[in-house]
Amino acid sequence: MNLTSWNTPTASVASNHPWEAKSLPFSCYNIEMLPVQTTQPPTPKNIWQQLQKPFLILAPMEGVTNPVFRQVIAAAGRPQLFFTEFTNVSSFASPAGHTNALARLTITPTDPPIIAQIWGKNPAHFSTTASQLKKLGFAGIDLNFGCPDRNVIRAGGGAAMIKTPDLAIDCINRAKAATSLPISIKTRLGYTYTEEYQTWIPLLLQQNLAALTVHLRTRKEMSKVPAHYELISGLIKLRDQYSPATKLVINGDIKNRAAALALHQAYPEIDGFMIGRGVFENPYCFTDHQPTREELIKLFLLHLDLFDQAGDTRFDPLKHYFKIYINHFPGANNLRAKLMDCRSTTEVRQVLKSAYLI
């Protein structure tokens, strides 16, 4: 279903982008936030040039940053920019996969400005997909050259592009030629060794990208080692040397707004910061707010309601989010164990009610 047609209860949230913001009714959850953009604004020529640094972005995470969860984050306090989950260009270009691909590219009222992230290895399919994304309402297109997932690598996409630089450049050029939207890339330092960034990053920068997000680990490292902050200065020098106009975004072990601001103070040349797993520790991570248990429960109820309205019959994936809301208070572990046994949002609400949380 097209989620843009939802009549969803939506909290008013912080507006961190240049367009005028308006309030949305959300009194039933008693979540007090600042105004949010309620209507899709005209797409500027280059959204990346509209952002004031240091800007914050919710990292695209497969199975996490879907339309429902983005609305939850918007209610808590949105970043300046959202990304979709990544969409496979060959699925988008295929009659058999097109409908499912479009569902992944749903834009909800609280999303704009939002970037469509795409992946694959077929240059022609990058062209086909890129040509259609502006009319869907996206402000830009990001090419995923960094996903470390084994299945994505086996398919030749994500971080596998680091090992096929000629193919990567072809995909970039075909995407750029097919659209007027700004093209950005999210990647890693290298495939196996951190030293690879010294050749891989300049190659990308020479493609005149609107923005480049670098996850400060290699594909081999996954998330098993600390992010290589010691290489930030080298990345800045490469950006300044090869493409000063490209916005440089850093990703890796940045848990919240405070951590991003601290990094920006140390490296003021960085334009933006991407937060991923930090949302699991605090969904208000794009603000300075430390939520109370009551606020987290209200946010949980919003998540449940939005999930119901989306009409998704796959309940088990929703359980991945429970720890966000049920954590860091006495009895949280036992309560979460009960919630994991639930088979519907109705049962979840009943368990919360029995625990006197609603």
**Catalytic positions:** 147
d(CA 148, CA 241): 28
What are the structure tokens assigned to 358, written together? 């609603």
Ordered DSSP codes for 244-274: TTSEEEEESS--SHHHHHHHHHH-TT--EEE
Q: Quick one: which of 200, 207, 208 has its CA closest to 235?
A: 200
Three-state SS at 36: strand
CA atoms of 273 and 22, how far apart (whole Å): 26
Q: Alpha carbon of 150 to those of 100, 146, 154: distances in Å?
A: 21, 12, 6
Phi and psi angles of residue 229, each rounded to the nearest 5 degrees, phi first:
-65, -20
